[in-house]
Structure 1
Amino acid sequence: MNTYLNKFNDSVKNTLFIKLPKNEQEFIKNKSLELKFSHQEIKQIIDIARDLSTWNEESIIKLFPDHNQKKVVFTRLRKAYEDIRNKPNSYENFELKNIPQEQKFTFKTEAKDGFGLGLCPVASEKTRCCNLLTLDAVESCGFDCSYCSIQSFYNQNTITFDSNFADKLKNLNLDKNKTYHIGTGQASDSLMWGNREGILDALFLFAKENPNVILEFKTKSDNIKYFLERDIPNNILCTWSLNTPTIIENEEHLAASLDKRLASARAVADKGVKVGFHFHPIVQYENYLSDYAKVYARLLKEFNPSEVALVSFGTLTFIKPVIKQLRDREFRSKITQMPLQDASGKSSYPDSIKVEMFKHAYESFTPWHKDVFFYLCMEEHEMWSKTFGYQYSTNNDFERAMLSSYSTKLDMEFLI
């Protein structure tokens, strides 16, 4: 017994065992001593217990099979767990836990090495990518979306500004005979900080001085005061990441409501700025298609396609560090309660679910197909033909089509 107890104690090291409720810790320990689970089985059981708690599902104690054979018990436990994972989520009785009610940050301004202009961090030849360039104007985001990968790269509570950002922008050497698409919403939200540390002043000046750059501000906020008070260069796009009220309320903590995001987009469009909308991630849950259909219908009703440059679709895609980070947090979320399959080295929904959600989304916007640029973000090449009915042969073809469409919409010259 002592030998196996030592083995058990070794197995729970570097796991989330200590974060489980005391009664679950004792239960798992006793069952492990009784059935002699292997090292890997113990680690998986701990992850199952942690996931069930995060998902606000029944405790592992209730789910645990009543049997005296280790193999039977573990097989049945895995099946019960996977059944819960694979069924469409329901937020009907979902209770949030430890979600911040207000934003509390430490702001830091420091000189940073390098500039932060580079390829989109998820760019890959394995997926069809638009070759977006990104500017890290700010590091870390003040929203607390439960699915966000930013939290695995930066300290969530420390917001860092580059003290040399404006000077670096002025000294950026770009080819004047080429059209660039640059986004500022990858390492943080583009608008939630407003003009703090002069970042919007610097970016607007950069856009004015580089008319061959399409500069995209991507946001989940309603902080558009700076845009409403100034003349805006015509090569600026302002885009909103949208979701259903169910997902916003339960998974996009501290972000603006759907109504506020759409009102902000409407106000910016009324100033003559071209806008866009990102549905990324589309999340499967009970009746999700009808909920998303209502949001799509609002866009068709509240915006003219001449005002809209783009609509994109994407879904949940995880790398292992992000899943580990989510398990480590003391909160509740149903985001990882989904059937996970390999997606070009990452984990995402099975193709059948993706086809359902993307095809439904694209067809919902049929009246806009000729006037607005639609695209899939971070999806394998074949997914385009399965959902859009066409696909691009290469990332460069995708990029050229996007830049040509945006340039036309913005009344810019398209420079290959």
Structure 2
Amino acid sequence: MSKIGQFESNKSWQRVLPEEKKFIERVSTDYLLSYQDIKQLIDITLDLEAWDEGNLKTIWPDVSDSKLKNKELKTYIMGQIKKSWNRLKLEPTDYKGFKPKSDFKKDDIKFEDINEDRTILGDCPVASEKTRCCNLKTLDSVINCGFDCSYCTIQSFYKGGKVLFEKKLEEKLEKIELDPKKRYHIGTGQSSDSLMWGNRENNLKLLFDFAKKNKNVILELKTKSSNIDYILENDVPPNIICTWSLNTTTIIQNEEHLTATLEERLISAKEVQEKGVLIGFHFHPMVYYKGWEDEYKELANNIIEMFDPKRTALISIGTLTFIKPVIKQIRERDFRTKILQIPLEDAEGKQSYTYDIKKKMFSTLYKSFKPWHKEVFFYMCMEDKNLWMDVFNREYKDNKEFEDDMINSYFTKIQY
């Protein structure tokens, strides 16, 4: 079997356009490219298409006058290709004129019940001693999401276009054993959006009942939706916090497909806060693109003007962090996104921005919230421990100390 033939069943290769396939096939023969060379060219080809930054031919070096031959020539060509590819990732991403595309169809979603015996309460799937982590507990009453954020890790875990609701939710919530002498922070937005489904299958009612029964629990409902009818129409237990994942309009329009607009999210959060419910905001992921600084500053200023910090429990900051299966999944989709057009480096076994870019983004946002520094709990999610001192001028000796400080801060704002 030829080297190209080895890719016939490869999903990434199948995504390459016919003309690009012919080009890769030709150069692989002309320059005796290795399996790894071809694999890299496929990835670069798919990236260029997704980023709307031309194609492999446009960055292929002119070697017509080159005196190099055989292996040296191949090495030179691959080096130049990688340089051109990396050059596109080094500068802040430019969304001007970009037209996003998604192959996700919300109408194709199918709903099913989960009848199997599975545990619905567990640890945060990305909890790690390598980063400063809040030790969040997760309650997965719904699995899979109806939004289509290009960077989301959920796409690599759950497939088939099915959203699954826990059939035995009431029974399983009753069986959860918690230490009455301990305080817990439990989130419901790790496997799906917490509010987009409303009270479908009695989901929110049962979660409210769980919060009422367990006053030592902070139950966080995290969302990118504006579906707040159930919240507004019912009594909300004081230990429920509704949080919105926010981003600039540029990122929402280009990378957070089918989600509520920034204005819709802010208005929803305002209405929920005015009802007396604690709220919070997650700036996760912050994205490094042309115009990011002004737009994130403007968003911070809008929040300061719109909301009461005394009834705002938290603001979290984080950025893009990819595991390899997510990067692979993004490339295999019929997708137009610039979310991988960034300078990726190793971050505790994952891929993320450089430390310096993170420090610059996080510090800019945090300083923009200066009037709230003493009234709202600010933290970073899944980031290098050293960033805490560089950004917040404070740090924790371990995850437990961080967890305790966070939970204590939240409970000071809960009014029974």
**TM class by shorter-chain length?**
over 0.9
Residues 190 and 50 of structure 1: CA distance in aligned 2, closer, same or farther (over 3 Å): same
The corresponding residue for 1:396 is 400
Structure 1 stretches of 4+ with a deviation exceeding 4 A read: 99-103
Which shows bigger deviation, 125-134 or 89-98? 89-98
1:44 maps to which residue?
Answer: 40
> Residues 12 and 42 of structure 1 are in contact (CA less than 8 Å); yes or no, is this contact kept in structure 2?
no
**Equivalents in 2 of 1:270, 1:125: separation in Å?**
38
Shift in Å, 1:39? 1.3
* Aligned residue in 2 for 1:335: 339
Stretch moving more, 289-298 or 108-117: 108-117
Residue 12 of structure 2 corresponds to residue 23 of structure 1: no
2:185 paired with 1:181: yes
Structure 2 match to 1:199:
203
Match of 1:34 among 30, 42, 46: 30
Name the residue aligned to 1:279.
Answer: 283
User: In 2, Cα distance between the equivalents of 1:402 and 1:350?
Assistant: 27
Q: Tell me the CA shift for residue 404 of structure 1.
A: 0.7
Q: Which amino acid is 2:179 matched to? A: D
**Alignment: residue pair count:** 408
**Over the residues paired in the alignment, what is the CA RMSD in angstroms?**
1.3
Asked if the contact 1:146/1:335 (under 8 Å) is kept, the reply is: yes
Structure-to-structure mapping, 1:266-415, within 5 angstroms = 266-411=270-415
Residue by residue over 1:95-116, the C-alpha shift from the partner in whole angstroms, topping out at 9 and shown as x without a partner, is 1224557543100013132222
1:157 deviation in Å?
1.6
Verify the 8 A CA contact 2:11 2:332 in the aligned structure 1: no
Q: Deviations over 1:222-273 (max 9, x none)?
A: 0000010111111110000000000000100000000000000000000100
- Residues 318, 381 of structure 2: 8 Å contact kept: yes
* Contact 1:277-1:312 at 8 Å conserved across structures: yes
Taking the aligned partners of 2:145 and 2:231, their CA distance within structure 1 comes to 20
**Superposed displacement of residue 15, structure 1:** 5.7
TM-score (norm 1): 0.96
Q: Deviations over 1:273-309 (max 9, x none)?
A: 0100000000000010111111111100000111100
Corresponding residue of 1:155: 159
Task: State the TM-score, normalizing by the size of structure 2.
Answer: 0.96
Instruction: Work out the CA distance in 2 between the residues paired with 1:223 and 1:11.
Output: 44
Cα separation, 1, equivalents of 2:102 and 2:109: 17
Aligned position for 2:225: 221
1:82 aligns with 2:78: no
Distance in 2, Cα, partners of 1:103 & 1:362: 39
Q: Deviations along 1:315-351, whole A, 9 cap, x unmatched?
A: 0000000000000000100001100000000000000
Aligned to 1:70: 74
Mapping of residues 91-240 of structure 1, within 5 Å: 91-100=95-104, 102-155=106-159, 157-240=161-244
Could you say if the C-alpha distance between residues 200 and 13 of structure 1 is closer, same or farther in structure 2, counting changes exceeding 3 Å? closer
SS at match of 1:16: helix
- Rounded Cα–Cα distance in structure 2 between residues aligned with 1:244 and 1:115: 36
Please state whether the residue corresponding to 1:6 is helix, strand or coil: coil
What does the per-residue CA deviation read over 1:115-139, in whole Å, with 9 as the maximum and x for residues that have no partner?
Answer: 2211110000000000000000100
Q: Name whichever of 171-180 and 324-333 sits farther off.
A: 171-180
Query: 2:41 and 2:87 mapped to 1: Cα distance?
Result: 15
* Residue 255 of structure 2, aligned match among 240, 246, 251: 251
Q: In the alignment, residue 184 of structure 1 is paired with which amino acid?
A: T
Identity of aligned residues (%): 50
Q: CA separation in 2, counterparts of 1:137 and 1:324? A: 28
Please tell me whether the aligned partners of residues 100 and 255 of structure 2 are also in contact (alpha carbons under 8 angstroms). Answer: no
The alpha-carbon deviation at position 142 of structure 1 amounts to 0.4
Task: Provide the rounded CA distance (Å) in 1 between the counterparts of 2:143 and 2:105.
Answer: 22
CA displacement, residues 196-242 of structure 1 (integer Å, 9 cap, x when unaligned): 11111110000111111100000000000001011111111000000
Residue ranges of structure 2 left out of the alignment (5+ in a row): 65-72
Supply the AA of the counterpart residue of 1:405: S
SS at match of 1:409: coil
Find the aligned partners of 2:253 and 2:108 in 1 and give their Cα distance. Answer: 19
Q: d(CA) in 2 for partners of 1:211 and 1:360?
A: 36
Cα 1:11/1:331, change in 2 over 3 Å: closer
